[in-house]
Amino acid sequence: MTRAMAGIKNFAKMRAWLEAQPVLYVFCSLFPFCFFMSACNRSPEYYLERGNRLALSGRAGDSIEMYNKSILLNERYPEALTSRGMVYEKLGDRQKAKYDYERAISVAPAYAPAYNNLAALYMDVGDYKEAVKRLSTVLEFNPAYAYALLNRGMARYMLSDYNGAMSDLSKAIESDPKLELAYYRRALCSDRLGYQSAALSDLDLFISANPGVAAGWFERGRLKYNKKDYSGAVEDFKKAVELNPGAAAYLYWRAMALTAAGRCEEALPDLELALKMAPVYVQAWLLKGDIYARMKTPDYARESYSKALEIDPDNARLYKARIAVLSRPAAVPVKNRTDNGVKDRS
């Protein structure tokens, strides 16, 4: 779902909202004239304009007051209803936001931003089928609406409809080539469908436009790792960790890439830090055990495998087999292995 000012998942919604507010754009470009005219005519547009300015400056309560005045003057004003709904969302009042979006749709059945925002609410609570339904409605009368295509693509991805998601995201990019989030999401679809080269190309474009977003570097690192470009993966994971040092999964994957590149001793600090953040990260305990086994320190390896066994008894057979290898008199070091046999839940 796209939302205002909230990172990779959310940066498109504010743009979608602003593009639906022609009054705001006129105000920004013709400030003196607009202010004079607005002051002379306290119209619904005047209060909408003031509400938008207050919302953008972080004054949520004051903006709602302005939207209320706008709606009192014109209760069938979808722009004011939708704008007020967005502020309610920001304040965490989903019920009021939903009411405003549905009311905007009822008074203006062709007003696309209200459908898009309502669908995003459904996506927030995991109701992706309802989101697809709502977005399909708006796309029937506005098939090139990039934000609806983006959100429907994201919802279809979550429903494992990767081909449908790919189609929607490609159309979103065709409609708005500057919609960077669509490239990121399409890369995830391409990866799921086995098109790794296409996924890498989209991630290259996304990172070029958004070098400060850790998730882009992380996903590209995963793709490089799967293509056995371990050095390239290490560099991408390094950047992801720099941008988001609190993500245990990023540290784990960098440790995986370092291990695969034969740099086991460098991988251990990443695992230690990841386990400090997430003590029940079973994959990290298992990888740590594998590294110690390769380094011929069986006591440390056994300790790590035992911890993994304690956390994840459902895979006891795997951990016990690793421990048994350590106990053999002529133990053979664990091979250069980074696929540790446990599904990564990160």
Give the CATH number of the domain where residue 249 resides: 1.25.40.10
Considering just the CA atoms, what is the radius of gyration of the chain in Å? 25
Confirm if 9 and 2 have CB atoms less than 8 A apart. Answer: yes
Residue 302, domain extent: 279-326
* Whole-number pLDDT of residue 19: 41
The reply to whether 265 and 283 lie within a common domain is no
Compute CA distances 302 → 13, 272, 290, 296, 307, whole Å.
50, 16, 9, 11, 9
What pLDDT, on a 0 to 100 scale, did the predictor assign at position 309? 98
- For residue 312, being part of any structural domain is answered with yes
Label residue 5 by pLDDT band (50, 70, 90). very low
Mean pLDDT of 208-236: 97
Q: What angle do CA 313, 254, 264 make, to 5 degrees?
A: 80
Q: What per-residue confidence (pLDDT) applies to 2?
A: 57
CA-CA distance, 322 to 302, in Å (whole number)? 8
- Indicate whether 65 pLDDT > 90: yes
Residue 127: inside a domain: no
Residues 264, 245 share a domain: yes
Does the structure show a pLDDT above 60 at 299?
A: yes
- Calpha distance 69→113 (Å, rounded): 21
| pLDDT beyond 50 at 31 | no
Residue 331: its pLDDT value, please? Answer: 44
pLDDT range class, residue 327, cuts 50, 70, 90: confident
**How high is the pLDDT of residue 27?**
31
CA pair distance 317, 27, nearest whole angstrom: 67
Q: Which residue has the higher pLDDT, 40 or 158?
A: 158
The position carrying tokens 């209803």 is: 81
Based on the domain organization, do 260 and 288 belong to the same domain?
no
Specify if 163 maps to a domain. Answer: no
Same-domain pairing of 258 and 229: yes
| Three-class SS state of 128 | helix
pLDDT of 325 above 50:
yes
Would you say residue 306 lies in a domain? yes
* pLDDT over threshold 70, residue 40: no
pLDDT of the residue at 8: 32
Task: Average the pLDDT over 313-330 and give the result.
Answer: 90
pLDDT-based confidence at 20, cuts 50/70/90? Answer: very low
Q: Indicate whether 314 pLDDT > 80.
A: yes
Of 250, 269, 288, the residue that ends a domain is: 269
Residues found in the chain: 346
Position 218 pLDDT exceeds 90:
yes
Q: Residue 115: which residues within 8 A CB-CB, separation 6 or more?
A: 101, 105, 134, 135, 137, 138, 148
Question: Average of pLDDT values for 267-276?
Answer: 98
Q: Is residue 7 part of a domain?
A: no
In a domain, 25, yes or no: no
Instruction: Tell me which H or E stretch contains 100.
Output: helix 94-107
234 shares a domain with 265: yes
For residues 289-299, give the mean pLDDT.
Answer: 97
Query: What average pLDDT does the segment 61-73 reach?
Result: 95
* 211 token code pair: 């070098």
Q: Is the pLDDT of residue 297 over 80?
A: yes
d(CA 67, CA 228): 55
334 domain residue, yes or no: no
Instruction: Kindly report each contact of residues 278-283 with a partner whose C-beta sits within 8 Å and lies 24 or more positions away, as own/partner.
Output: 278/248, 280/311, 281/248, 281/252, 281/346, 282/308, 282/311, 282/312, 282/315, 282/342, 283/252, 283/340, 283/342, 283/344, 283/345, 283/346
Domain total in the chain: 2
Q: Which of 284, 287, 289 has the alpha carbon at shortest distance from 306?
A: 289
pTM of the model: 0.79
pLDDT at 139: 96
Q: pLDDT band at residue 339, thresholds of 50, 70 and 90?
A: low
Mean pLDDT value of segment 28-57 = 68
Whole-angstrom Cα distance, residue 112 to residue 94?
A: 19
- Per-residue confidence band for 70, with pLDDT thresholds at 50, 70 and 90: very high
Is 241 domain-assigned? yes
